[in-house]
Amino acid sequence: MNTIDNVTFIEIPKVHDERGVLAVIEKEVIPFDIKRVYYLYDIPSDAYRGGHAHKKLRQFLVPLSGSFDVILKDGNDTKIVTLNKPNKGLLIVPGIWRELENFSSGAVCLVLASEVYDEADYIRDYKDFILSKSR
């Protein structure tokens, strides 16, 4: 069963020259095949997103612009990480409750996902999440 220790940062290889930085996510950078890409933008600074866990979905979050905090919970422990480097993404595995908040102005969160959208994969009630961990 996954714990928050299984949530890891992954550095995205980059090419930096006088024209700026080019970061590349190739097949071997993330440990799943990408089935979906979505992104969050125009996010009010007081917005709260997430507030759920996934049964099967793996996701890689990249703060393309600005910063935000991700609160991670596994039913026993809680960890808060700040995403603020466009070449450093967060790999979130299944069975982890996540909440996104404290968005900076202009924050953009890119998400690469291992599955297509499926509402049945969500656990949106925290009590159900805790129950799922004890099964």
* Residue ranges in 85-124 that form contacts with ligand T46 under rule CB under 6 A: 98, 100, 111, 117
Minimum distance from residue 26 beta carbon to ligand T46 (Å): 22
Q: Does 4 interact with ligand T46 (rule: CB under 6 A)?
A: no
Which amino acid appears at position 79 of this protein? K
Taking the least distance from each CB to ligand T46, the nearer of 23 and 91 is 91
Reduce the DSSP state of residue 4 to 3 states and report it: helix
54 has catalytic annotation: no
Taking the least distance from each CB to ligand T46, the nearer of 40 and 107 is 40
Q: How many CB atoms lie within 10 A of CB 114?
A: 19
Q: Which of 36, 52, 79, 88 is catalytic?
A: 52
Reduce the DSSP state of residue 5 to 3 states and report it: helix
The helix or strand, by DSSP H or E, that contains position 49, with its residue range, turns out to be strand 49-54
**CB-based contacts of 27: which residues, under 8 Å, 6+ apart?**
none
DSSP 58: -
Candidate residues 10, 50, 79, 101; the one interacting with ligand T46 per rule CB under 6 A: 50
Size of the site for ligand T46 (CB under 6 A): 10
Cα Rg of the chain, angstroms: 15
Q: Does 39 interact with ligand T46 (rule: CB under 6 A)?
A: no
Which range touches ligand T46 (CB under 6 A), out of 11-19, 21-29, 33-41, 82-90? 33-41
Angle at 127 between CA 32 and CA 46, to 5 degrees: 75
Name the site residues for ligand T46 (rule: CB under 6 A): 36, 38, 40, 49-50, 59, 98, 100, 111, 117
